[in-house]
């Protein structure tokens, strides 16, 4: 370091140098007044050998905060902070993009499945054109059976019946093409329930954080076998149950909102329960809870639970409303078949 940049005068150096032999020492440079004080310092020793005697050269360099390169250290700290912030922002953006893509995928599947349930629920609406077809056909037959057949009236009745038949056929065909979905039984595979719950909660993490819901989710256990299910269908069921629970707790103060998810084995099946501390299910709604269009929300279609029950049954399981549990709200129990264990091969 040049002499004009050294923070100490030449006669007041922070370096203390001395020779030592046994218990005797000779100070070659005293250094600053605090060079011997305890603290952050750099010490170096070297043995000087000669035929006549052996000496040890000691050097102690007292470090002071003003000697550190603070501007360079600050630049490095800011650079590292910016790098860490950029990595964290990129990771959060990637997680948000993946969450949005999965929600979009589940939304598309839910839309198609909902259309299927909607078609099933609207089947009774086809009774009107079918009844009209029957009535017009019977009227045309009576007109033709009269002693003096009214051919024009019979032709008009048959024309109306044909129009109603075409209308009903077009509606059914269009809905069937829109709502066809693959057989979930052929897509069953081993799905760990804790992982499926974690994935569903990850997708709803913004909702949970915004609504300040305290969620208790199950931890992976080696004793719990995986479920035999279709991953997409299982995610759709969990998404519907969790979203219904979040919406049910809107009437509960934010500090008291709790969501409890549990699982346990039961014979050859696995049970997964989702319970909230909302107001629960009204008694008049319990009997028709899993029927289409049964809902208590003004903007709801009442098809989520019907869809979820259909998906559960297609995987060999069952979805039902049960009583009890540590929370006072609604408790839904999803039963799925456990993945069978393969017997060990005998030699």
Full pLDDT tens readout for the chain, 347 residues: 444 444 545 456 778 888 888 788 888 887 765 555 566 777 888 888 776 777 888 888 777 676 677 888 899 999 999 999 999 988 888 887 777 777 666 666 666 666 665 565 556 456 557 777 888 888 888 888 887 788 888 888 888 888 778 767 765 665 555 455 555 555 689 999 999 998 888 878 888 888 899 998 887 777 889 999 988 888 888 988 998 899 889 888 988 899 999 999 998 999 999 999 988 888 888 877 877 655 655 445 556 788 888 888 888 999 999 987 788 888 999 999 998 876 433 34
Read off the tokens for 214: 């305290």
DSSP state of 184: G
What integer pLDDT is reported at residue 231 of this predicted model? 86
Task: Report the candidate in 190, 196, 175, 62 with the shortest Cα–Cα distance to residue 119.
Answer: 175
Q: Are 240 and 305 in contact (CB under 8 A)?
A: yes
Q: Are 60 and 36 in contact (CB under 8 A)?
A: yes
Read off the tokens for 85: 């912030």
What integer pLDDT is reported at residue 302 of this predicted model? 59
Residue 327, Cβ neighbours under 10 Å: how many? Answer: 17
pTM: 0.52
Three-class DSSP category at 73: helix
CA distances from 303 to 127, 132, 295 (A): 21, 29, 8
Please tell me the distance from the alpha carbon of residue 303 to that of residue 37, in angstroms, as a whole number: 79
Phi, psi (rounded to 5 degrees) for 274: -125, 120
Read off the tokens for 20: 């030592």
Q: Are 274 and 245 in contact (CB under 8 A)?
A: yes
Task: Report the candidate in 109, 106, 112, 117 with the shortest Cα–Cα distance to residue 294.
Answer: 117
Please tell me the distance from the alpha carbon of residue 300 to that of residue 292, in angstroms, as a whole number: 11
Q: Are 327 and 258 in contact (CB under 8 A)?
A: yes
Phi, psi (rounded to 5 degrees) for 17: -125, 135
Tokens 């305290």, residue located: 214
What integer pLDDT is reported at residue 113 of this predicted model? 64
CA distances from 195 to 105, 198, 199 (A): 18, 5, 6
What integer pLDDT is reported at residue 65 of this predicted model? 72
Cross-strand pairs, 43: 60
């Amino acid at each position: 370091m040049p002499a004009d940049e050294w923070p100490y005068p030449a006669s007041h150096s922070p370096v203390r140098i001395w020779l030592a032999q046994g218990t005797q020492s000779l100070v070659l440079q005293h250094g600053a007044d605090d060079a011997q004080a305890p603290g952050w310092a750099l010490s170096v020793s070297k043995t000087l050998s000669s035929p006549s005697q052996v000496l040890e050269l000691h050097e102690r360099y007292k470090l002071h905060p003003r000697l550190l390169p603070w501007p360079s250290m600050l630049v490095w700290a800011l650079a590292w902070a910016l790098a860490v912030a950029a990595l964290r922002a990129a990771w959060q953006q990637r997680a948000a993009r993946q969450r949005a893509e999965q929600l979009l995928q589940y939304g598309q599947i839910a839309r198609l499945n909902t259309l299927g349930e909607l078609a099933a629920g609207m089947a009774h609406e086809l009774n009107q054109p079918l009844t009209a077809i029957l009535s017009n056909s019977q009227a045309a037959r009576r007109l033709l059976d009269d002693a003096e057949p009214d051919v024009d009236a019979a032709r008009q009745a048959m024309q109306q019946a044909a129009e109603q038949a075409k209308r009903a056929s077009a509606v059914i065909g269009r809905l069937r093409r829109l709502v066809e979905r693959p057989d979930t039984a052929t897509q069953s595979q081993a799905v760990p329930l804790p992982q499926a719950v974690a994935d569903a909660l990850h997708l709803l993490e913004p909702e949970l954080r915004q609504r300040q819901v305290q969620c208790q989710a199950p931890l992976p256990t080696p004793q719990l076998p995986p479920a035999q299910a279709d991953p997409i269908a299982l995610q759709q069921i969990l998404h519907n149950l969790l979203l219904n629970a979040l919406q049910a707790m809107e009437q509960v103060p934010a500090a008291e909102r709790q969501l409890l998810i549990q699982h346990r084995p039961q014979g050859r099946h696995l049970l997964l329960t989702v319970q909230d501390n909302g107001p629960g299910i009204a008694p008049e709604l319990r009997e028709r809870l899993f029927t289409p269009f049964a809902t208590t929300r003004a903007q709801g279609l009442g098809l989520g639970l019907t869809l979820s029950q259909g998906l559960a049954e297609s995987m060999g399981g069952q979805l039902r409303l049960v009583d009890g549990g540590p929370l006072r709200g609604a408790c839904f129990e999803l039963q799925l078949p456990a993945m069978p264990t393969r017997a060990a091969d005998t030699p």
